[in-house]
C-alpha cells in the first residue's frame, strides 16, 4: 500500500511539474509524464484512471491552495477591521490579489487552471468535466462579507456584481492581448500592481450606495396592446 501511494505521488508531482512548464496542453502527454517518473504509461491509468483525471486531481489540489490564500487574506482583513467587517476594497483585494499574483508568476501553477479549462471542455468523462465537483463555498463567503460591507444590495445584486468582477479578471488574466487591444494605451494589463489596483477600484465602484431609489423591476409579462 505504501509503495502504491509513493508511486501515485510521484506521478502526481510529475504531472504538476509538466503542467506548470507547458505552454500548451499538447506538451502534457501520458508518455512524457511516465518518462519523467521513470515508469510505464499504464501506471498512470492504474493510479488515476486516465491522463485527464490525473490533471483534474492536480487542478483540485492547486485550487484548494489558491482558495486557502484567498480566505487567509479575507480573515486578515476581518482582523484588521475595527468592526470585524472589512471594507469592500479590502474584501475585493483579498479575492483578487492571489489571482493577479499567481498569473504573473509562472511557478505558482496558475497555468494549470488554463490547461484544465481546455481539458474539461473537451472531455466526455463526467469525472473530469462535472462542474459540481468544484468548491463554491469560498465564493459564498466573499458574497456574505460583501453584503455586510454594502448592505444596501440584495444577495442577488451582490452576486451579480461579483460575477461582473470575475469577468473583468478573466479577460485581463486569460486573454490579456485581446483586453489590451480593447483598452489601447489607457493602461497596461501587464503591470500586476496596476492591474490589481484597477480591478479593486472598479469593483469597489459597483458596490457604492445608490443615490436614488432603484427603479421598479420590469415585469416579465408580455406588454398589453398599445
140-158 per-residue burial string, b: 16 or more CB within 10 A, e: under 16 = ebbbebbbebbeebeeeeb
Residue 91 burial (CB < 10 Å; 0-12/13-18/19+)? Answer: buried
Q: Could you tell me if 36 and 11 are in contact, meaning their C-beta atoms sit under 8 angstroms apart?
A: no
User: Who contacts 143 (Cβ-Cβ below 8 Å, separation ≥6)?
Assistant: 155, 158, 159, 162
Cell of 199: 480591478
**Domains of the chain in sequence order:** 1-49 (1.10.10), 52-206 (1.10.357.10)
Mean of the pLDDT values across residues 73-94? Answer: 94
* Residue 19: other Cβ atoms inside 10 A: 24
pLDDT tens string 50-60: 999 999 999 99
Instruction: Determine what percent of the chain is predicted with pLDDT higher than 70.
Output: 90
Q: Give the Cα separation of 140 and 74 in Å (integer).
A: 12
Q: Give the Cα separation of 169 and 167 in Å (integer).
A: 5
What pLDDT is recorded for position 215? 56
Cell of 215: 427603479
**pLDDT band at 84; cut points 50, 70, 90:** confident
Instruction: Determine what percent of the chain is predicted with pLDDT higher than 90.
Output: 63
What pLDDT is recorded for position 213? 59
Mean of the pLDDT values across residues 25-53? Answer: 93
Q: Give the Cα separation of 59 and 54 in Å (integer).
A: 9
Mean pLDDT score of the chain, rounded to an integer? 87
Q: Could you tell me if 149 and 87 are in contact, meaning their C-beta atoms sit under 8 angstroms apart?
A: yes
Alpha helices in 86-216 (DSSP H): 88-104, 110-122, 126-129, 137-149, 155-174, 176-183, 192-206
- Assign 84 to helix, strand or coil: coil
pLDDT higher than 60, residue 14 = yes
Q: Could you tell me if 8 and 58 are in contact, meaning their C-beta atoms sit under 8 angstroms apart?
A: no
The closest of 146, 57, 134, 62 to 98, measured between CA atoms, is: 62
Mean of the pLDDT values across residues 159-169? Answer: 95
pLDDT higher than 90, residue 97 = yes
pLDDT tens string 99-150: 999 999 988 989 999 999 889 888 888 888 877 766 668 899 999 999 999 9
pLDDT higher than 50, residue 3 = no
What pLDDT is recorded for position 224? 42
* pLDDT higher at 220 or 115: 115
- Assign 17 to helix, strand or coil: helix
Amino acid at each position: 500500500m505504501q509503495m502504491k501511494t509513493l508511486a501515485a505521488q510521484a506521478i502526481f508531482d510529475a504531472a504538476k511539474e509538466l503542467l506548470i512548464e507547458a505552454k500548451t496542453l499538447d506538451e502534457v502527454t501520458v508518455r512524457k509524464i511516465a518518462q519523467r517518473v521513470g515508469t510505464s504509461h499504464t501506471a498512470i491509468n492504474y493510479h488515476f484512471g486516465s491522463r485527464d483525471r490525473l490533471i483534474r486531481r492536480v487542478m483540485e489540489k492547486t485550487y484548494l491552495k489558491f482558495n486557502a490564500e484567498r480566505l487567509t487574506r479575507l480573515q486578515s482583513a476581518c482582523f484588521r477591521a475595527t468592526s470585524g467587517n472589512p471594507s469592500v476594497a479590502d474584501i475585493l483585494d483579498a479575492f483578487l490579489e492571489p489571482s493577479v499574483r499567481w498569473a504573473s508568476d509562472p511557478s505558482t501553477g496558475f497555468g494549470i487552471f488554463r490547461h484544465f479549462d481546455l481539458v474539461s471542455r473537451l472531455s466526455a468523462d463526467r469525472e473530469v468535466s462535472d462542474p459540481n465537483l468544484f468548491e463554491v463555498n469560498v465564493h459564498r463567503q466573499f458574497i456574505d462579507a460583501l453584503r455586510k460591507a454594502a448592505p444596501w444590495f440584495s444577495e442577488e445584486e451582490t452576486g451579480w456584481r461579483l460575477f461582473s468582477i470575475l469577468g473583468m479578471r478573466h479577460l485581463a488574466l486569460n486573454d490579456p492581448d485581446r483586453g489590451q487591444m480593447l483598452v489601447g494605451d489607457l493602461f497596461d494589463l501587464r503591470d500586476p500592481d496596476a492591474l490589481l489596483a484597477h480591478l479593486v477600484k472598479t469593483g469597489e465602484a459597483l458596490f457604492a450606495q445608490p443615490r436614488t431609489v432603484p427603479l421598479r423591476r420590469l415585469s416579465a409579462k408580455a406588454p398589453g396592446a398599445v
